[in-house]
Structure 1
Amino acid sequence: MGQLYQSLQVFGWYALWNPDKIVLVLILFGLYLLFMVGPLRPNLPFARAARPQEIIATAAALLLYYIVQGSPFYLMSHMIFSLHMTHMAILYLLIPPLLIIGIPGWAYAYVFRYRPLKRLVDALSYPLVAIFLFNGLFSLYHLPTVFDFLNTHRTFHTLYAILMFTAGWIMWWPILNPLPDRTEMSHLRKVTYIFANGILLTPACAFLFLSETPLYQTYYDHGLWTQMVGFCLPPGTRDTVDLTALSISQFNLMPPLDDQHLGGILMKIWQELIYAAFLILVLVRWFGETRKKDREIEQMVYAEAEKRLESERASQEKNVSLHGV
């Protein structure tokens, strides 16, 4: 790791830490506070201020975004395949649900006043569509020819990344939809949905782990590697580093095939951990709602029993008064 750290210094602090991304994250969080908590919040009866847990979820999403897209981790993920898979897990599996949780439901309702947009989201977030859309795009991305092409063509890579992020957001929407007028999935279906997502992602991870040869030339072919690393550098720094003079081995922690196998394992581990966390969230909510319904039934039974006792007591008092007469 020490050698890797020293090798990375050739890119300079600006390329490693991307201060423009820090500014972007701070601006986005500032706008979030202004519109969701502060004076720019819409003057609507239902536009409550964001709750503390929502603010924390949004802050966590933006911090994770900077880590995977702005810190040295971003550049390293284009040199070390196992870090690339961790990058994918955080960017497409963890950040979207945090943003859904972090933005109050009224804000989504306000945006979805535009009926065509609402109908489009409803169609794409239908569980079967959402689950196959995300997992299909994820699997397609990791086909060797597609992967190498996207990682050496900046425009196509950016467009596909936006598409993947949108698909990740849509994939989580059926479970975490905060709209007040939503048609909510049952908790049992949510549990099934999470398990199905885990199963559909497994073939791509197994494909990486079971391969007997390195699949992605961008991680071992020097010409393609320089193209991939080059488009990760901020515009002002690309001409300051002679990538052709760098050796891939300077930045590798292990042979390409071992790195690829580790990437497949890490992706599956990250996926299981993230899905398990949200599965626990679903189960806790399910248990809470069940307990609430049980208490309501108990209160109804208790109230009915009290009513009967009152009726019997009144009847007895009436009989006593009649006998007294």
Structure 2
Amino acid sequence: MELRIFGFQALWSPYFLCLLMIVGFLYAQCTGRWRGRFAHSEQIKKSEAFYFYSALLLIYVIKGSPLDVLAHISFTMHMVQMAFLLLLVPIFIIKGIPAWLWQTFISNPLVQPIWRIVTQPIIALFSFVLLFSFYHIPVILDAIKLSEALHALYTVMLFSSAIAMYWTTVNSVPGERQLKGLHKTAMIISNAVLITPACALIIFADTPLYATYQSGEAWLQSMALCVPTTMLASLASAGITGPELFMSMSTLEDQQLGGIVMKIIQELIFGVLLYTVFRAWYKHEQRDADAITEAALAERKTMNDYY
């Protein structure tokens, strides 16, 4: 059965698109016409604009396009959605907002003390891992997907914890805590290791774990997060009460594939991030080595001239 039966509003989320366009407009104004209102503001870099607008585009594809409807039908697509939302978009957000705009936000008296705590590397790492792992406990995920308010709150908490987790690894804001090369590597590897048990639980389960991805009333209720209730009523009256009509896989196969896909995407993103960290670390060490060599040669020349 085709997805178009859910209607234009469910598939393309026009209101959500308008919200993202407003965010993009405010970003353009803050980094352009209103820039003079911020202390130490500078001309925005092309790379920063690219990262930020790419983040908005990704958010729309993940949460506003037909992918969001698919994520409520297929657990595999849900894991694809979560992987990109939590592991890639936060990097783009951190890199896309200029340092001076970050400083304005962080220096706020209400934000600063909380920010100092939540971006502590160990706190940030375990907060993200625990929130991610708890989210995929069957009873918790089902409860979240059956409540629009709870779903929105938990998604914001997860996304915020992902930004905090990446902060000391990715940010380049002067005066902010930034891990060194070896510590960045340890942070990335620790994250990969610590979220593995949650993926393993899903991959090696021998029965379907989530009621909201099986046939029945729970699935229809969970679809209310992205499909208007009037449309859901018409689907129920037409006898569509489960995701099996939209998939060729069984619920268990879909669940297991979701865990595998999540792990693969995570490894790819972390692999690229590790490569970037190693490359920057190597260049930094090379610059230091050259400086040490030049200083030693200059000292030797001074001694030769003296004697």
TM over 0.5: yes
One of 81, 105, 108 as aligned partner of 1:111: 105
1:240 paired residue number: 231
TM-score in terms of structure 2 length: 0.93
* Aligned position for 1:41: 35
1:22 equivalent in structure 2: 17
> Unaligned regions of 5+ residues in structure 1, if any?
313-325
Contact 2:86 2:158 in 1 (8 A): yes
Provide the residue aligned with 2:165 in structure 1. Answer: 171
Residue in 2 that maps onto 1:265:
260
Judge conservation of contact 2:39–2:100 (CA < 8 Å) in 1.
no
Offset from partner CA, 1:103-126 (integer Å, 9 cap, x none): 111111111222442221111111
Equivalent AA in structure 2 for residue 16 of structure 1 = L
Paired amino acid for 1:268: K
Shift of 1:195: 0.4
Aligned runs of 1:163-312 on 2, under 5 Å?
163-233=157-227, 237-241=228-232, 242-244=234-236, 245-247=239-241, 248-311=243-306
- Does the 8 Å CA contact 2:172/2:178 hold for their aligned counterparts? no
- Contact 2:168–2:177 (CA under 8 A) maintained in structure 1: no
**TM superposition shift of 1:203:** 0.2
CA distance in 1, matches of 2:93, 2:289: 32
2:25 maps to 1:12: no
How far does the alpha carbon of each residue in 1:122-171 deviate from its partner, in whole angstroms, 9 at most, with x for none?
A: 11111111111111011111111111111011111111111111111111
The structure whose Rg is larger is 1
Contact 1:80 1:253 in 2 (8 A): no
Q: Which amino acid aligns with 2:57?
A: L
Q: Any conservation in 2 of the 1:226–1:243 contact (CA below 8 Å)?
A: no
Per-residue Cα deviation, 1:159-206 (whole angstroms, up to 9, x for no partner): 111111111111111212332112332211110111000000000000
Shift of 1:309: 4.8
User: Whole-Å Cα distance in 2 between the matches of residues 43 and 17 of structure 1?
Assistant: 36
**In 1: Cα distance, 2:3 partner to 2:76 partner:** 17
Please give the alpha-carbon distance, in whole angstroms, between the structure 1 residues aligned to 2:198 and 2:217. Answer: 26
Letter in 2 for 1:243: L
Please name the residue that 1:101 is paired with.
95
Percent same amino acid among aligned pairs?
32
**Equivalent residues of 1:104, 1:178 under 8 A apart:** no
**1:20 to partner: Cα distance:** 2.0
Give the aligned partner of residue 318 of structure 1.
none
CA–CA distance in structure 2, aligned partners of residues 63 and 44 of structure 1: 26
Cα deviations by residue, 1:266-313 (Å, 9 ceiling, x for unpaired): 11111111111111121111112111112222322333344345445x
Higher mean displacement: 64-73 or 268-277 = 268-277
TM-score, length-normalised on structure 1? 0.88
TM-align CA RMSD? 1.6
Quick one: distance in 2 between partners of 1:44 and 1:9?
46
- Could you say what secondary structure the match of 1:78 adopts? helix
Q: Match for 1:194: what amino acid? A: I
Equivalent AA in structure 2 for residue 56 of structure 1: F
Query: C-alpha distance in 2, partners of 1:299/1:67?
Result: 51
Structure 2 unaligned blocks of 5 or more: none
How far apart, CA to CA, are the structure 1 residues paired with 2:98 and 2:235?
45
- Tell me what 1:68 maps to: 62
Q: Which amino acid aligns with 1:251?
A: F
Q: Hey, what's the Cα distance between the residues in 2 that align with 1:116 and 1:45?
A: 18
